[in-house]
């Protein structure tokens, strides 16, 4: 079962957060979180006016609890609001024997908590989870324009392996993406 926490995290400003696996029973917290992320940044796949189906998210969180590698994490603030989310999963869903050591992740935080150290903390939790579950290669994509994200990942030891040119079309402009990866023992 891929579960985590709850663990307390004290941000650089002294704010206290809770990091834990997403509980299907509070999926409603995800809706305002998704709306905020979509409005604040174009660095994820969250789009204004395109909310995810609650049933689909709830089903995913429920199913992932039973999966050894898939992990959905939430960051909650001291009001119980969801302010961060990270997901980790195998690179392929078919448990292929040649790629079983490869995992992927994505993460996002609402702007009001950027710079608290939560990005780094989430990344460390995901890396530890990878090690425990036999994953050695961790992959992700990050938009070239996403300076904060690129800095976070490079500081954490990820390497830029390539560029997916014009990988996204956002607000009338093409945007390139880096493919990044890290080997963990």
* Nearest to ligand COA of 57, 142 (CB atom): 142
Q: Segment 154-183, which members bind ligand COA (CB under 6 A)?
A: 155
Selected binder of ligand COA within 9, 17, 146, 158 (CB under 6 A): 146
Tell me: does residue 152 bind ligand COA (CB under 6 A): yes
Across the beta sheet with 137-143, the strand order is: 7-10, 16-21, 71-76, 82-90, 102-109, 137-143, 173-183, 159-170
Tell me if 84 sits within 8 A of 74, measured CB to CB: yes
State in angstroms the smallest separation of the CB of 118 from ligand COA. 4
- Print the binding letters for residues 108-137 with ligand COA: x by CB under 6 A, - otherwise: xx----xxxxxxx-----------------
User: Percent helix, strand and coil across the chain, each rounded to 5?
Assistant: 30, 35, 35
Tell me: does residue 107 bind ligand COA (CB under 6 A): yes
Q: Beta-carbon neighbour count of residue 176 at 10 Å?
A: 13
State in angstroms the smallest separation of the CB of 97 from ligand COA. 29
Q: Which of 158, 160, 120 is closest to 144 using CA atoms?
A: 160
Q: For residue 163, give both structure tokens.
A: 């560029």
Tell me: does residue 65 bind ligand COA (CB under 6 A): no
Tell me: does residue 85 bind ligand COA (CB under 6 A): no
CA atoms within 13 A on the CB side of 4: 31
* Nearest to ligand COA of 65, 152 (CB atom): 152
**Site residues for ligand COA per CB under 6 A:** 41, 43-44, 107-109, 114-120, 140, 142, 146-149, 151-152, 155
């Amino acid at each position: 079962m891929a579960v985590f926490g709850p663990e307390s995290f004290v941000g650089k400003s002294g704010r206290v957060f809770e990091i834990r696996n997403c509980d299907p029973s509070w999926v409603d917290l995800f809706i305002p979180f998704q709306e905020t992320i979509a409005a604040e940044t174009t660095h994820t796949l969250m789009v204004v006016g395109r909310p995810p189906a609650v049933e689909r998210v709830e089903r995913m969180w429920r199913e992932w609890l039973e999966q050894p590698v898939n992990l959905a994490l939430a960051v909650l603030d001291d009001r119980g609001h969801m302010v961060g989310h990270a997901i980790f999963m195998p690179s392929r869903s078919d448990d292929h024997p040649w790629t079983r050591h490869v995992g992927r992740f994505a993460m996002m935080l609402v702007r009001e908590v950027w710079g608290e150290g939560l990005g780094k903390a989430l990344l460390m939790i995901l890396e530890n989870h990878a090690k425990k579950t036999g994953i050695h290669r961790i992959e992700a994509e990050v938009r070239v324009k996403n300076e904060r994200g690129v800095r976070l990942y490079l500081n954490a030891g990820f390497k830029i392996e390539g560029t997916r040119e014009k990988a996204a079309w956002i607000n009338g402009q093409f945007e390139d993406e880096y493919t990044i990866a890290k080997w963990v023992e």
